[in-house]
Structure 1
Amino acid sequence: MAFYDLSKSERADRVSAIGNDIRQALLAQKAENVRVYYADDDTYIRKTAYVASGRLYEEEASLRPAVHTMLAGFLTDDDFRVRQTAINAAGEIGRKHFEEVRTIFDEGLQDTHHAPRNAVIGSVKKMGEVNPIPVLAWARQYLHHPDKEIRREICHGIELRGRKHPEDILPLLQELQHDHTARVRGTLVHVIGQIAYKKGCLLKVLNHLKTWENRQLVYDALEEIVDVHHRYRDFAALTQEEAARMVDEHYPERGQANRIHR
């Protein structure tokens, strides 16, 4: 029976049972007993497993070597779901202990399957939001990686931190302003838009963009900023009209020909 086919109380019991099974498996050094959860077809079972793994790492220091050994071993598993779940577990750990799991993300970025790589992006988002200094320092080293997909994934991964603290990620985004790959440029413009519509962020973004050299990319980003205030109008701090007015006040040199019409 799928996880969410269970009643609320049954789900709670299932979560507790999975956590206990993982703890016992780690104590007995039987990673294969954890693998069954990491490979489960049900997304929610896998999530329960990686959250439990992260919690055990945080709460029981004596289990940390066993958890780390298990996750490192799972990175070479034939099943992409096992590798994906291992990276997500490392993401839980990295919210406080990033340096202890950073090599897992180094390996995850090189995975041949998109699901583990997406788990790296998701993990960087949640880690960077609460543990930005080591996570952003790690991310920076990949901004000029020869693989365009890695550059794009890192750009996407640092987005969440920027929604509350754009000043933390704008210098990193700036390093991508001359990237010639369309997918990377598209993601860069998208991320700028995503951080600009949050409360208190637009002014910081507009001021920082004035220091960028690639003016065409800046103007593309300004288009996206105004457009995103319409697409996310139920969540944006400003109306589209207010955002457009602020953009025009800060970039009058665009003139009437470049003015964003809506």
Structure 2
Amino acid sequence: MGFYDLNKAQRLQLVDEINVAIRADIHQTTSDRIIAYFSDDDTYIRKIAYQAIGKIAAGSPDMQPKILTLLDELLTFNNEKVRQTVINAAGEIGMKEFGNVEHFFDHALFDEHHAVRNAVIGSVKKMGEKNPEPVLQWARKYLHHPDQEVRREICHGIELRGRTHPQDILPLLKELQFDKTARVKRTLVHVLGQIAYKKNCLGMVVEHLKTWDNQAIVRQALDEIIDVHHRYKDFSVLNQEQAIAYIDKHYWQEIQREPLA
């Protein structure tokens, strides 16, 4: 039975049970119960487990060394769900203390399983939003890594910070403008679109794109931004027509270049 097959009272009871069990494992320096929850088929059970790790680490700093030791031991566990949940748990800690968990992400970027690498993206998103300075410094190290998937994951991972503080990530995105890999370029264009429809972000994105040299990727990005304002019309600050008018006035007219038909 899945977590959301339970009624509300049963769900609350289960959350308490998971928190108690995980705290007991940490105290006893054992991992049987942690492994059971970290490997559960239900993604919500795994989420409760890694959030429990984060809460314990934040509320009981004296327990953090034990927590990190346990997570280190599970970082190479033979079940990808366990490794995935380890990275999500490290992300909970990294929202406040990235230095203590940085090595988890150095390792997991190259995990053989996509679920673990996707957990890196998700964790970088939430850490970058709450604790941007060290996380973005770390991300910069991998912007030009030979592995295209690493570059793509980093590009995607820094997106969430850009939705509220585009000025923090636009210089990093600019470094990818001449990437030769289609998958990385698609992610770059996607991230620019995801940033630009948020409040107070379109102007900053457009101004920054004026400094880019790769006009082909800029055109793709502007097309994506216009499209996003239609796809997310219920959430965009501007409607599509307003976005088109803004881009026409503040990009195409200012650089004295005609947009493609």
TM-score (norm 1): 0.97
Aligned partners of 1:150 and 1:106: how far apart in 2? 10
Matches of 2:161 and 2:136 in 1, distance apart?
9
Confirm whether residue 228 of structure 1 aligns to residue 261 of structure 2. Answer: no
What are the equivalent positions in structure 2 for 1:186-197 lying under 5 Å apart? 186-197=186-197
- 1:81, 1:133 → 2: CA distance? 29
| Residues 43-122 of structure 1 mapped to structure 2, 5 A cutoff | 43-122=43-122
Q: What is the deviation of 1:230?
A: 0.5
In structure 2, the partner of 1:258 is 260
1:246 corresponds in structure 2 to 246
Cα separation, 1, equivalents of 2:75 and 2:242: 48
Which consecutive aligned stretches of 4+ in structure 1 deviate over 2 angstroms post-superposition?
Answer: none
How far has the Cα of 1:33 moved from its partner?
2.4
- Residue by residue over 1:190-241, the C-alpha shift from the partner in whole angstroms, topping out at 9 and shown as x without a partner, is 1001100001000000000011111111111111111110111110010100
Distance in 2, matches of 1:35 and 1:186, equals: 36
For residue 179 of structure 2, give the secondary structure of its aligned residue in structure 1.
coil
State the partner residue of 1:205: 205
**Distance between the aligned counterparts of 1:71 and 1:108, measured in 2?**
12
Q: How much does 1:69 deviate?
A: 0.7
Deviations 1:156-183 (A, max 9, x none): 0000000011000000000000100000
Aligned to 2:2: 2
For residue 245 of structure 1, report the CA deviation from its aligned partner.
0.6
CA RMSD of aligned residues (A): 0.9
Match of 2:144 in 1: 144
Aligned-pair distance for 1:254? 3.2
Q: Which residue of structure 1 aligns with residue 123 of structure 2?
A: 123
Q: CA deviation at 1:2?
A: 1.4
| Unaligned residue ranges in structure 2 (runs of 5+) | none
What residue identity is the alignment partner of 2:189? V
| Paired residue total | 258
- Residue 178 of structure 1 aligns with which residue? 178
Q: Secondary structure at the match of 2:97?
A: helix
Q: Which amino acid aligns with 1:107?
A: H
Q: Quick one: distance in 1 between partners of 2:33 and 2:191?
A: 40
| C-alpha deviation, 1:32, in angstroms | 2.2
State how far apart, in whole Å, the 2-side matches of 1:44 and 1:65 are.
Answer: 26
Secondary structure at 2:30 match in 1: coil
Give the letter aligned to residue 160 of structure 1. Answer: L
Q: Distance in 2 between matches of 1:115 and 1:73?
A: 19
Gaps of 5+ in 1: none
Q: Matched residues in 2 for 1:80 and 1:182: separation?
A: 28
Whole-Å Cα distance in 2 between the matches of residues 169 and 223 of structure 1? 20
